């Protein structure tokens, strides 16, 4: 399509959208002026563009079982089926099925299925399914499912599921599922949040994302690159082990499930090795002043370089017993089981594997990787 055609299409869409909101405004004003008048019921109605229809200027006082709006229409309610080429404005309740090319605006409850090319707006309760190309939003709670191309943003509680291409946001409580790039349930989550960024004040469930944040966790936890719970488990460790003589570790999450971020360093035979790793772990409180940490960490080891491009992975399972002097300060020590998977090659292209493992119980080359296994020890201080 050429530029003039594109501009024409854009102008037409903007004009039609303006018409929808213009007539919606008229409907709201008429609604306010005639609030005391009782609604009538009609089996069917046909409207071209409000008020050009079979119900005329009284459309805002009529509840229809079947309603067809060629462009945009206004009604007191829907008890069945309503279809609008551009938009539907319902001043009362919608119970059944409602579809619009651009927007549905319902000032009462929604019970059933609501479809819109761009926006669904509701003032009161939603029970059922809302699907919009861009946004589902409203002032009331939602019981059911909201699907949006961009944003789901009800103002109150959600009981069910929200799925959006960009963001799910509600200022109340969530009981169910939020799935989107960004998920925010301001007061609490009882259920699951899955996205790049997840936030709630009180978590009673599970968060899976790149960044997980909560003020408090009652039950459950989260997994991601960054997981921070204000009242959770946050510890720094300085550690020695047989592979790297100096290690710095930060742990963040809750006792049952925390994320681990680690850096290790050593020099050996005039060579420098350093590693960066990520993992997960759990804390078990055995008695007053004694606990057990089980950690699983995967680290990429770099040999005499800022970064080793080949796979050079050290996978470590640790069992550390901790002896606490205070709530924050503890000494720990324990055994580890290590598996090295390395694809480093020599000048002739033969796989030679890593150069950092101190000894091995198992050493085999599988396909393009050399695999070694060995036992180890580690000890350190936690604060």
- Among 15-24, 276-285, 304-313, the least confident range: 15-24
C-alpha 70: how far from its chain's center? 38
Q: What phi and psi values does residue 325 have, to the nearest 5 degrees?
A: -90, -35
Higher pLDDT among residues 347 and 7, named by residue: 347
**Percent of the chain with pLDDT strictly greater than 90:** 83
> CATH 2.40.160 region(s) of the chain?
234-382
Looking at residues 374-383, what average pLDDT do you find? 97
Tell me what pLDDT residue 39 has.
Answer: 78
d(CA 245, CA 242): 7
CA distance 378 to 357: 14
Enclosing H/E stretch for 28: helix 3-33
The pLDDT assigned to 31 comes to: 47
Please state, for a pLDDT cut of 70, what percent of the chain lies above it: 90
Angle at the Cα of 222 from the Cα atoms of 186 and 153, rounded to 5 degrees: 30
Cα separation, 304 vs 302, whole angstroms: 7
What CATH number should be reported for the domain whose range is 234-382? 2.40.160
| pLDDT grade for 276, boundaries at 50, 70 and 90 | very high
Q: How confident is the model at residue 269 (pLDDT cuts 50, 70, 90)?
A: confident
pLDDT score of 106:
95
Smallest Cα–Cα separation from 121: which of 319, 51, 80, 130?
Answer: 130
The pLDDT of 319-339, averaged and rounded, is 96
Q: How far is Cα 145 from Cα 185, in angstroms, rounded to an integer?
A: 15
Question: For all residues of the chain together, what is the average pLDDT?
Answer: 91
171-230 per-position pLDDT tens digit: 999 999 999 999 999 999 999 999 999 999 999 999 999 999 999 999 999 999 999 999
224-236: b or e for each residue (b if 16 or more CB lie within 10 Å)?
beebbbeebbebe
Each residue's pLDDT tens digit, 120-167: 999 999 999 999 999 999 999 999 999 999 999 998 999 999 999 999
Other beta carbons within 10 Å of 270:
6
pLDDT of residue 192: 98
* Calpha distance 231→252 (Å, rounded): 10
The DSSP annotation for 106-150 comes to ESS-EEEEEEESSEEEESS-EEEEEEESSEEEESS-EEEEEEESS
Residue at token pair 């047989």: 242
Lowest mean pLDDT among 3-12, 68-77, 240-249, 262-271: 3-12
Predicted confidence at residue 34, as pLDDT, reads 47
What is the per-residue pLDDT for 347? 87
Q: What's the pLDDT tens digit per position in 59-99? A: 889 999 999 999 999 999 999 999 999 999 999 999 999 99
Alpha-carbon Rg for the chain, nearest whole angstrom, is 30
pLDDT of residue 66: 96
* Euclidean distance between CA atoms 92 and 323, whole angstroms: 65
């Amino acid at each position: 399509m050429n530029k003039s055609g594109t501009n024409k299409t854009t102008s037409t869409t903007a004009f039609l959208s303006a018409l929808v909101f213009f007539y919606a405004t008229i409907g709201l004003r008429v609604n306010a002026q005639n609030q005391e008048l009782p609604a009538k019921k009609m089996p069917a109605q046909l409207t071209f563009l409000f008020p050009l229809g079979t119900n005329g200027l009284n459309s805002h006082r009529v509840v229809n079982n079947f309603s067809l709006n060629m462009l945009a229409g206004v009604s007191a309610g829907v008890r069945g089926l309503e279809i609008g080429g551009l938009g539907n404005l319902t001043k009362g309740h919608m119970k059944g099925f409602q579809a619009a090319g651009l927007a549905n605006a319902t000032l009462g409850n929604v019970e059933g299925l609501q479809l819109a090319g761009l926006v669904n707006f509701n003032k009161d309760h939603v029970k059922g399914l809302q699907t919009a190309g861009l946004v589902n939003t409203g002032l009331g709670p939602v019981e059911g499912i909201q699907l949006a191309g961009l944003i789901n943003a009800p103002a109150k509680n959600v009981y069910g599921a929200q799925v959006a291409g960009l963001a799910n946001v509600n200022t109340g409580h969530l009981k169910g599922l939020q799935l989107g790039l960004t998920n925010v349930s301001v007061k609490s989550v009882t259920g699951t949040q899955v996205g790049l960024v997840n936030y709630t004040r009180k978590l009673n469930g599970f968060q899976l994302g790149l960044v997980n944040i909560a003020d408090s966790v009652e039950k459950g936890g989260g997994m991601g690159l960054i997981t921070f719970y204000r009242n959770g488990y946050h510890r720094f460790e300085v550690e020695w082990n047989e592979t790297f003589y100096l290690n710095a570790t930060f742990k963040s999450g809750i006792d049952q499930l925390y994320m681990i971020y680690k850096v290790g360093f050593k020099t050996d035979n005039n060579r420098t090795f350093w590693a960066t790793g990520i993992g997960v772990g759990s804390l078990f409180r055995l008695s007053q002043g004694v606990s057990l940490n089980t950690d699983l960490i995967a680290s990429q080891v770099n040999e005499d370089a800022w970064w080793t491009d080949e796979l050079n992975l050290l996978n470590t399972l640790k069992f550390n017993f901790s002896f606490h002097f205070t709530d924050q300060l503890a000494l720990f020590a324990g055994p580890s089981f290590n598996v090295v998977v390395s694809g480093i090659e020599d000048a002739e292209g033969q796989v030679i594997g890593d150069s950092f493992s101190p000894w091995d119980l198992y050493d085999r080359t599988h396909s393009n990787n050399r695999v070694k296994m060995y036992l180890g020890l580690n000890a350190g201080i936690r604060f």
